[in-house]
Structure 1
Amino acid sequence: MPFVSVEVEVSLSKFDTEELLEELQERGRKHEAIGLADGYDPVEGKGTAQLADALYEARRNGNDARALELCDRLIYAAIGRIV
């Protein structure tokens, strides 16, 4: 499958929340879990959306070891598979 990359400049403030939610629903995603299957990681005590937030923060702070650990937990919480 070919891959095409396009750069556009758009401000999300031009879209209201309802429009964004409708777009996500049309794409078959659930906005409650940021498009991830709603799961739970008992070790971290977090759901998939919370794990995704923690993963984002770890990557943003440059903590790659923690990010990889959270990535594995996110995979388990979302699809039930152990990496």
Structure 2
Amino acid sequence: MPTVNVDVEVELYDIDTEDLVEELKSRGGNHSGVGLEDGYCPIECKNTGQLAEALFEARRNGNDQRALELVDRLIYAALGRII
């Protein structure tokens, strides 16, 4: 597919969050707000965003062993790779 470059004068304040989310949806990008591709961990029954939240709580509470376990599960949910 050929690429066409077009110069457009747009002020950043003319673009709102809804416009950006719609553009990401149209491109098939990740628009969950988490910054991770959507994935799912069947062991934890959580998606990547929920795993990241659980990881944050484990680290915040000083539970490093649980945090490391969640990191492995997050990597698997996001990338499909097993550590």
TM-score normalised by the chain length of structure 2 = 0.65
Unaligned runs of 5+ in 1: 1-16
Secondary structure of residue in 2 paired with 1:32: coil
Amino acid at match of 2:36: L
The aligned counterpart of 1:18 is 17
Contact 2:30 2:38 in 1 (8 A): no
SS of residue in 1 equivalent to 2:56:
helix
Q: Distance in 2 between matches of 1:43 and 1:36?
A: 18
* Alignment-derived partner of residue 30 in structure 1: 30
- Determine the C-alpha separation between the residues in 2 that align with 1:40 and 1:33: 16
Q: Which runs of 5+ in 2 are unaligned?
A: 1-15
Q: What amino acid maps onto 2:66 in structure 1?
A: R
Q: In the TM superposition, what whole-angstrom CA distance separates every residue of 1:9-64 from its partner, at most 9, and x where no partner exists?
A: xxxxxxxx939x95xx6xxx734150101000000000000000000000000000
Which position in structure 1 is the counterpart of 2:11?
none
Q: Determine which structure has more spread, i.e. the larger CA radius of gyration.
A: 2
Match of 1:4 in 2: none
Mapped contact 1:33–1:48 kept (Cα < 8 A): no
Partner of 2:78: 78
Q: For this pair of structures, how many residues does the alignment match?
A: 61
Match of 1:67 in 2: 67
* Displacement after TM superposition at 1:76 (Å): 0.1
The TM-score with structure 1 as length reference comes to 0.65
